[in-house]
Amino acid sequence: MTLIAAGKKHITAHELLAMGDIGRCELIDGEIIHMAPAGAQHGGIAGQVYGYIWTFATARKLGKVYIAETGFIIKHNPDTVRGPDVAFVQSARLPNTADPGFFDGPPDLAVEVCSPSDRWWDVLAKVDQWLAAGAISVWGVDPPSQSIEIYRRQSQPVRYHAGQQLADEPTLPGFTLDVADIFK
């Protein structure tokens, strides 16, 4: 472990995993950040997104879809472990063996559903972290506006609203989604 100011110690991803069930949290620069459980609307929307991506990716053997709060190590020394609401990793990046630990590296696609308590700049900070770590796409799902904003490195965000069809997702070739469907 590395010492930081005032005698505080950084927690590593390995140490966080060894702590077992300490409640919903993420590890940001070696510091545990506890979070409240997601609300019903948030969970329902994340479930819808997961279902559509899982159905598409599984039928085509494109990779693995991860459910909310799966830990992805996106930075080392000090460690940062984030858990998107939905994540997708392409087959070529999947480890050959099952590892009970956190996934080392970012997902190819991270989906963040905004909760009523989320501040948009906090969501954008997560988007920046995912992209800086190497994610190909990050979706910011905004229930109040019934929209999905897609972020990719070196391009402007693209927003899709209910009534539009999301397409051209590079991590899921051929995938389309009627945006309104995830808000039903």
CB neighbours (10 Å) of residue 89?
Answer: 24
Residue 133's φ and ψ, nearest 5 degrees, are -80, -15
Domains of the chain (ranges; CATH) run 38-183 (3.90.1570.10)
Q: Tokens 């010492």 belong to which residue?
A: 3
| Strand order across the 109-113 sheet | 63-66, 86-90, 109-113, 137-142, 147-151, 158-161
Residues of the chain with pLDDT > 90, as a percent, come to 77
Long-range residue pairs from 27-34, CB within 8 A, at least 24 positions apart, any chain: 27/71, 27/79, 27/80, 27/81, 28/80, 28/82, 29/75, 29/78, 29/79, 29/80, 30/2, 30/4, 30/78, 30/79, 30/80, 31/78
Residues 50-100: tens digit of each pLDDT? 999 999 999 999 999 999 889 999 999 999 999 999 999 999 999 887 778
Residues 134-165: tens digit of each pLDDT? 999 999 999 999 999 999 999 999 999 999 99
pLDDT value at 12 more than 60? yes
Residue 98 tokens, joined: 């099952």
**For residues 13-35, average pLDDT:** 92
